[in-house]
Structure 1
Amino acid sequence: MMVKYLYPFIFLLTCNLYSQIQIIGQVKNYINDTPIINAEVFIDNDLITYSDSKGFFELYLDSRNFNLKLKHISYENLSKYFSNVNDTLILFLNPKNFELETITVSTNKFEKKIEDLSISLDVIKGNYIYNQHNYNIENSISQAPSVNIIDGQINIRGGSGWSYGAGSRVLVLLDGISIINSVTGAVQWELIPAENIERIEIIKGASSVIFGSSALNGIVNIISKKSTEIPKTNFSSYYGQYSKAKRNSLNWWKDYVDNPKQYGFNFNHSSKIKGFYYNFGLQFHKDFGYMGLISTNIDTSLNIHHLGEERLRIYFNLEHKSKKNPNINFELKSSFMDFQEEDGFLYKSNINGYSPFSNENYSTFQSREINLAPKFEYSNSERDIKLSISSRFLNTNFEPNSKDKINNYSTIYSEYLIQKFLKNATLNIGLNYNHIIGISNSFTNNKFGNNYSFFSQYDKNIGRIKFNLGMRYEEYNIGKKYGKPVLRSGLNYSFNEKNFFRASIGQGYRFPSLFELYYQRDAGQISIFSNEDLKSESGYSAELGYKYKIQKKNSITYLDLCIYQMRYYDMIELSFGLWGDSTRLNPLGIGLKPINIGDTKISGFDFSVNSNFKFDNINFTTRLSYTYSLPKSVNPNYVYGNFNDRLESLVENLLSDGNIPSSITSIIPQLARSELSYFSTSSNPNNNILKYRYNHLAKLDFEINYKKLTIGTHMRYNSFMKNIDWLFESGAFNSEILDIFTLANANIEDMGIKLSRKKFKRGDFFINFRLYYHFLENYSIQILVENILNREYQLRPGSIGAPRFYSLRISGDF
């Protein structure tokens, strides 16, 4: 009976459809006449549809007269009024000049405008890196908003502190594939050709759905330059020198040698031969280092020990585009490095802050590293599908010249990705397989591991709303199995062309590295211990953000405000304790051991202003950022470990030797703090602040370019590191403190760490300056001054930052 009542409505709907006018159009590239996919089609500022795989779209309108607007991420907007349209519209768009616009690829594995993202992201462009010291990519990345790097370990928004030798919670990619050594868990910074970088994209927050383990705190994707048809050659040579520190006792070299120096050169060339695009480069870098010591031989002659680094790096990249089938693309990216570094770990004392505490027993690392990354891509525009197969072979040999020691680690990464481009959506489906090989006589036996994962993400545009949903399941098998499913979702809403709101929540995880599980070594009088009982750490990151875009003919400004919260479960951090047996250098067996410390929560907000202005021959760029972070322990009384068995053995030895009276044995566990919790291991447990973090981090970078001259400066302030491991302020390193270590006469070294930290309670502030001048058409000169005020600052307890550093670089481009 109800059906007959529907007939009038069906009839009216049919009449309305037939009364509307069908308009057909096609969108093409003005330069090469090729169709443009996924162009947004607006009528009177309302988004109606998108162009298909052949650039076509259909409209059903009430009139043949209308206002039409076309938008696309890679092309200039087109607005036009049409009247009395009867034929198919052929519309051409001009490719954009991307000098002002910021385009990203990391969050979704395809291009998007930065204002259309659902998660916070920052971009460092290649020119900025080139105007820095391009032999060290860490320096450039550490200047990005919310980012801090200590001893090569990167954290974003306080997602991790200082954890010497622990795995990274930030996944670092080179062209979309991990450059983290899965065995050590460390980023292979030195292997990255810093002189061949197009841009760097930094994602803040958990990104494990797309990228997997280690993306718990964020992503850094380093994107290499592409070769061009026109041959290009660049060479540069540089020389730098450290100043003397203001505090004279730090300058261990002052009476014997000149100020420590560094020097090196870069060479790279790119071109095309038939269908093959290639580029290759060579870098040599020698840094004597500002840390070191003078030792005396038996014959009273002196040995001068510089704790620096030396490396030789070669890279070669090849890309082939098939003429017979232009939809097929093949790439091979490779690099090789010979590297040597000396590491003092901790300073000798606050007075001798540029000398290692272990004297000539400092650690020396030598490695030979190989990176091979082939990639195959196939695109089918008729079916709107793109297939890519990517892989990376990463090998690190830490004892390349030794006949007795073996420390050889390899990782094979592979990813299979299918992208389906729909009318107003994109679907990513992928598989990962990673194989890990650890061959070392520091392990009880050779270690092997496998890692499998499946992931999928769906991105959809509905009018002003852009949202995504993703999931991933990953399993890690390295002696025992770890498995983890994770989800993420995000939303971006554009109120208009200036105002954008975003929200996202994503889960993340990190599996322990082989080093954390099985590897042990001595760093002078302190040991780094392993822990086979480690559990994987997991968590989530959520944020709400607002971006305001101001764009005019010659300028663009982004204002961004974001509030965030990160929650971690079974967080892994290194804890000091009496973990091991006595050794010649380490009689107490004292050291650092990775432990699951329980649940933590990090809340805060970011604010940033990025601007780029062009006026005639003047180009002005500025980047201002401020991050407030409140990292807290959720269960500060939770006891997550102890070293009672080692303490009992120590007490028995002390009693038998008569070093302590038996009357105080009952209070020794309290003095030694052998029951490990947040409270017992913290130097300042007030307010439950996590260790090795800053509450405040502010940065300002501005650069002005006029014709051939570029001048820039970078300023940074971080607040005081309120909480560290209690052991650093105990009698083990401070002779004025009465505790188990002074009772046992086991003061490792009177470093004065507790007293030295009092000087830095206002935090650290320093300024860098750079100048770049182009001359004689093909040549340029660069002057760089780091820490221009020559301020003394602490990187972490037991480590003082470098004094003022001057550098001069001369380059040629042909």
Structure 2
Amino acid sequence: MKLIIMIALLFALSTESFAGSISGTIKDSETNEALSGAIIRIKNTSIGMKADNKGNFLLENLSNGIYTIRITYIGYTASEHIITISDKQPDQSMVVNLLPKSLNASEIVVSAGKRSQSIQEVPVSISLLDQQQITQRNTTRIDEVLRYVPGVNVARDQVSIRGSSGFALGVGSRVALLLDGFPMLSADNGDMKFDALPMMEINRVEVIKGAGSALYGTGALGGTVSLFTRTPSDTARTIIRTYAGIYTQPIYEQWRVYDSPPALYGIDIGYSKKFDNLELTMNVGNKYDKSYRLSDNSYRWSGYGKVGYQFDKQGMSKVTFFINAASEERGDWVFWNSLDSATRPPTGTNLNRRTESGKIASALEFKHFFSDQSFLMIRSGLFITNYKNTNLLPGEEQIASDALSWNSEIQYSASISPEVFLTSGINTVMNSVQAPIYGEKTQIFMSGYSQAEIKPGIENLICTIGARIDAEKTADAEQNIEISPKLACSYLSPFGIQFRASAGRGFRAAAVAERFAALRFQGITIEPNMNVKPEYSWSYECGATTAIPLSGEQDILLIDVSYFQNELSDLIEPSFTPSGNIKFQNVTKARVTGLELGLRSMLTGGYGFETSLTLMKPEDLILKQTLYYRSSVLWYTRMSIPIIEDLLLQTDYRFISRTEMMDPRLTALGFIKDADARVPNHICDMRLIARLHNWVHIPMSVTLNAKNIFDYYYTEIMGNLAPIRQLSVQAEYIF
């Protein structure tokens, strides 16, 4: 009997100690709408959860004590609240109204340190794009999104951050590309496959400027582009997005290759929902583009699926699997016949020759939070690419490749003391390529990295120090060992100005195609070079950011300024041999110095304005001249003007100064006629967005798009007329 009484007493005491709870509702402070999926965590513990589809949450079985509740939601300012649980008040409730962010001054970013952190803590230049900016521009590929990022220049399939890249024949990206943290550079060419990305599900784009190899290894010589997909909510979401349009006829009669304006159209259908602990996302898409150039039309289809499973209600342990597949069949366009025939391929070209390509990316990730200050991540996946030519004439050489990149990573991040946060990991990559022009080749990377973020005792000062070591071995080539250190700091001054400074090393190992390619096509003969070494850079930057309040309560002007200097060595460039052939070689040492200024504002009533100016001095230190294929000025401007309620006019203007230097040996060969034809780029895009929700009570928006509205003719790379004026209408229906 005494034993029973003692057990009952202990049970009563235990239930009394853990009988407290905190409940509440998370809402938008302006619209009063529930914020489904908002994250609620008790700081310095492993306790947390997501708000349900009505914005409600309940944290149970809490002992007496004082708790700090932190609430976050993408696109809103984080909120913290101190709650006390006691015998007298065991159950506490709260209503939290989160404030939407009109600017990204305190946005949460992930890619800078491979963990979630405030952008104010990041010691490097970073640009953010949200899902709304992507959707409104009617973009179907990521390169169309990146064209308006400050300091970024896209030349067809090459992304250059602050002058890091020039003309590279479509191989060897100097910018790393990641999808939800998974690398997306091909195993053979080491390039970006823009059509292999699920654009409909991209929720956020983060662009880091400057060498990023200390965390991301090869390819991050000039910077990093990270894409993050949408997380489903408890409410089912079906979206249908479709568009149709035309290229207008060129004003020059000799450029017209069709009797009527060539058409383009596409459709994407997606569905997402969270079922208790299970998250499901899937979509399919199909696109057609007849093109403004002869024998350059394309057909594309894509499919994407993502499944996530949370092992607990708090979301502390989660496994995620995604698969993305894309296929394209297009004309085998390389360069024009001449400037007078800029929309036709060279005379004698096989107009029936086609290129078929396929891409499959798939990855599995497990992530466990031990607390809000420590987590373990294990990820492994494949990126498979293939392409081949079809409809070949007798004597034409087959260009084909089957490539597989297998990537695995283990990362552990934790706060090892109140002053130090440590991120460490190991990474292995195996690239396997099978191609008729060079047989079967394998490239292997073994890597380890560690980065510490330190608060040295000075208020609002954060110092970052880290390094990564990569061992790279490619078949029939020597092994390379690369060490990429990084040192940076960020300081938020009492005056509200955030200062930053950084120095880091980046590198890029030669792609398999750069080492082994041996082919001749349309007058170009490429020789293999097994002795090509990795290229590397040292990036230095100092900058400052501040937000200045304007007249209205929510009116803010965000100002960012930075000075940068990139020292580039052993650059791998297509260069000419004494026989007149092309070979990828380590040809030069270069320096790019520059100044970047950005202004952003969002005013009361929906008016918005942003502009960025990047001034660069690209120098070839060997030849003592301007670096080939670079521009010295990038100026991007965007305006948003509400006409009436739910009707918005937006305009983008892009200026890129004339490419100052071309390789004269290439133009002298004459196989690309008028190769040096180039002008400054003046491109203006406009769109009219109508939200029909309040007009006809349909959850639909319609956008009228005009890209290159003034039909300005220019080139991005030699021998290629850039896209002419395109008019289209886009409709998006969400239910």
Superposed displacement of residue 140, structure 1: 1.0
Aligned equivalent of 1:796:
717
After TM superposition, give the deviation of residue 337 of structure 1 in Å. 1.3
Quote how far apart the aligned CAs of 1:379 are. 1.2
Q: Do residues 430 (structure 1) and 420 (structure 2) align?
A: no
Q: Could you tell me which of 474, 496, 508 is aligned with 2:506?
A: 508
1:365 aligns with 2:352: no
* 2:241 maps to 1:236: yes
Query: How far apart, in 2, do the equivalents of 1:359 and 1:268 lie?
Result: 44
Instruction: Give the letter for the 1:229 counterpart.
Output: D
| C-alpha separation in 1, matches of 2:454 and 2:582 | 47
Structure 1 residue 367: deviation in Å? 1.2
Q: CA deviation at 1:481?
A: 1.0
**Aligned amino acid, residue 689 of structure 2:** Y
Q: Which residue of 2 aligns with 1:566?
A: 566
User: How far, CA to CA, are the matches of 2:609 and 2:271 in structure 1?
Assistant: 31
Report how far residue 498 of structure 1 moved.
Answer: 2.1
Partner Cα separation in structure 1 for residue 473 and residue 427 of structure 2: 14
- Match for residue 9 of structure 2? none
- Determine if contact 1:35/1:55 at 8 Å carries over to the other structure: no
Corresponding position of 1:806? 727
Report the counterpart of residue 582 of structure 2 in structure 1.
592
Quickly say closer, same or farther: Cα 1:78–1:536, change in 2 above 3 A. Answer: closer
The answer to whether the 8 A contact 1:429-1:455 is kept is: yes
1:17 paired residue number: none
Residue identity opposite 1:557 in structure 2: L
Shift of the 500–281 alpha-carbon distance from structure 1 to 2, 3 Å rule, reads: same
1:688 equivalent in alignment to 2:625: yes
2:674 aligned partner: 752
1:621 match: 608
Match for residue 704 of structure 1?
A: 641
Give RMSD over aligned pairs: 3.2
Cα drift, residue 511 of structure 1: 0.3
Q: 2 CA distance for matches of 1:370 and 1:692?
A: 32
Using the TM superposition, give the Cα deviation of residue 555 of structure 1 relative to its aligned residue in structure 2, in angstroms: 3.0
Distance 1:283 1:274 in 2: 28
By how many angstroms is 1:36 displaced?
2.3
Paired residue for 1:210, among 206, 210, 215? Answer: 215
Please state how far the C-alpha of 1:427 moved relative to its aligned partner.
0.7
Q: Which amino acid aligns with 1:693?
A: R
> Which shows bigger deviation, 794-803 or 187-196?
794-803
User: Partner residue of 1:658?
Assistant: none
Deviations 1:210-237 (A, max 9, x none): 1111000000001111111100101122
| 1:317 corresponds to 2:318 | no
Which residue of structure 2 aligns with residue 537 of structure 1? 535
Decide whether aligned partners of structure 1 residues 76 and 224 sit closer, same or farther in structure 2, where only a CA change above 3 A counts: closer
Q: CA deviation at 1:107?
A: 0.4
- What are the equivalent positions in structure 2 for 1:90-489 lying under 5 Å apart? 94=96, 96-100=98-102, 101=104, 102-253=107-258, 257-292=259-294, 306-323=295-312, 326-357=315-346, 359-361=348-350, 364-381=354-371, 384-399=373-388, 407-421=401-415, 422-443=417-438, 445-461=439-455, 462=457, 463-479=459-475, 480-489=478-487
Structure 2 residue matching 1:139: 3-state secondary structure: helix
Select 1:768's aligned residue among 666, 679, 685: 685
Q: CA deviation at 1:72?
A: 9.3
Task: Show structure 1 runs of 5+ residues with no match.
Answer: 1-26, 39-53, 59-67, 81-86, 293-305, 580-589, 637-686, 734-747
Q: Secondary structure at the match of 2:588?
A: coil
Matched, 1:633 2:550: no
Contact 1:28 1:36 (8 Å CA) reproduced: no
Q: CA deviation at 1:385?
A: 2.5
Specify the SS of the correspondent of 1:784.
strand
Q: 1:791 is paired with a residue of what secondary structure?
A: coil
Give the structure with the higher percent helix: 1
Report the residue type matching 2:564 in the other structure: Y
C-alpha deviation, 1:770, in angstroms: 0.9
Whole-angstrom CA distance in 1 between matches of 2:131 and 2:411: 27
Shift of 1:326: 4.2
What secondary structure sits across from 1:794 in the alignment?
Answer: coil
Correspondence 1:516-527 to 2 at 5 A: 516-527=514-525
Compared CA separation, residues 348 and 378, structure 1 to 2 (3 A): same
Query: CA offset at residue 596 of structure 1?
Result: 0.4
Distance 1:427 1:516, change over 3 A: same
CA distance in 1, matches of 2:157, 2:298: 14
Tell me by how many angstroms 1:113 deviates: 2.4
Question: Which residue of 610, 632, 639 corresponds with 2:600?
Answer: 610
Distance verdict in 2 for CA 1:798–1:713, change over 3 Å: same
**Counterpart amino acid of 1:35?**
I
Q: Deviations over 1:122-162 (max 9, x none)?
A: 00111000011232221111111111111211001111111
Could you tell me which of 494, 497, 501 is aligned with 1:499?
497
In structure 2, how many angstroms separate the alpha carbons of the residues matched to 1:79 and 1:398? Answer: 55
CA distance in structure 2 between the aligned counterparts of 1:55 and 1:436, rounded to whole angstroms: 55
Q: Which secondary structure state, in structure 2, belongs to the residue aligned with residue 210 of structure 1?
A: helix
Letter in 2 for 1:611: S
Counterpart residue identity of residue 531, structure 1 = N
TM-score, normalising length: structure 2: 0.84
Q: Percent identity?
A: 20
Secondary structure in 2 matching 1:800: coil
The DSSP-based 3-state class of the residue aligned with 1:221 is strand
Task: Work out the CA distance in 2 between the residues paired with 1:489 and 1:506.
Answer: 6
Change in Cα spacing, 1:487 to 1:55, as seen in structure 2 (3 Å) is farther
Question: Residue 808 and residue 520 in structure 1: after superposition, are their counterparts in 2 closer, same or farther (change >3 A)?
Answer: farther
**Alignment check: 8 A CA contact 2:79 2:98 kept:** no
Whether the 8 Å CA contact 1:264–1:284 is kept in 2: the answer is yes
Distance 1:796 1:500, change over 3 A: same
User: Within 2, Cα distance between the matches of 1:91 and 1:117?
Assistant: 34
Residues 557 and 729 (structure 1), Cα distance of their counterparts in 2 relative to 1, 3 Å cut: same
Alpha-carbon separation, structure 2, partners of 1:221 and 1:769:
26
Rounded Cα–Cα distance in structure 1 between residues aligned with 2:22 and 2:609: 35
Q: Go from structure 1 to structure 2 and tell me whether the alpha carbon gap of 1:689 and 1:713 turns closer, same or farther (over 3 Å shift).
A: same
How far did 1:716 drift?
Answer: 0.8
1:323-357 residue CA offsets vs partner (Å, 9 max, x unmatched): 37842101011111121222422211111111112
Quick check: 1:270–1:278 contact (8 Å CA) kept in 2? yes
Deviation at 1:29, TM superposition (A): 9.2
Are the equivalent residues in 1 in contact too, given 2:41–2:71 (CA < 8 A)? no
Match in the other structure for 2:29 = none
Q: Give 1:609's aligned amino acid.
A: L
CA distance in 2 between partners of 1:548 and 1:162 (Å)? 36
1:719 and 1:532 map into 2 onto residues whose CA distance is 36
Amino acid at match of 1:271: K
Quick check: 1:216–1:539 contact (8 Å CA) kept in 2? yes
TM-score (norm 1): 0.76
Shift of 1:497: 5.9
What letter corresponds to residue 397 of structure 1 in structure 2? N
The verdict on how the C-alpha distance between 1:126 and 1:591 changes in structure 2, with shifts beyond 3 A counting, is farther
| Contact residue 338 and residue 367 of structure 1 kept, 8 A | yes
Number of matched pairs: 659
Check the 8 A contact 1:29/1:95 in 2, yes or no: no
**CA displacement at 1:600 relative to structure 2:** 0.9
Shift of 1:359: 4.3
